[in-house]
Amino acid sequence: MKITKSLFAFALAASAFAMNANAGVFDVSPKIYGAPATASAAQRVIEITPETKSVQVTNGETIQFNINGTPFTWKFDLYHQEGVLDLATILPAELQATGVKVYVGESPEYREMYRN
């Protein structure tokens, strides 16, 4: 009986450890949307204010977001060509843009580049 309880406790602990170790596997990482870029690479600037609810960009585009006066530049590079994300997903922790959706549209140039 004591061995059975020990094996059960071990199995339970091992299971909890495995689930915890894999918890990050399904986390949304900003990397799947592209990468930070230099301000000089920006193709355009989008002002984000407390009233901003959504913005539209094109896959492959480099955007400088001015968030309440603070610049942040991002190169969009989505594998699936288009999508929707919360701007907060790609922002550094010190910048806030709660509730702002980024609609990423398909790029004809990217479509051709990935086809070849």
Give the chain as a DSSP string. -HHHHHHHHHHHHHHHHHHHHTGGGGSPPGGGGEEE--GGG-SEEEEE-TT--EEEEETT-EEEEEETTEEEEEEE--TTS-EEEEGGGTS-TT---TT-EEEEEP-HHHHHHHH-
- The tens place of each residue's pLDDT in the chain, 116 residues long, gives 455 544 444 444 444 444 333 333 334 467 788 999 999 999 999 999 999 999 999 999 999 999 988 999 999 998 777 889 999 999 998 998 999 999 999 987 755 555 54
Residue (of 90, 110, 114, 112) closest to 101 by Cα position: 90
Distance CA 84, CA 102 (A): 6
Tokens of 9: 């406790």
Q: State residue 9's pLDDT score.
A: 45
CB 64 within 8 A of CB 42: yes
Q: State residue 108's pLDDT score.
A: 76
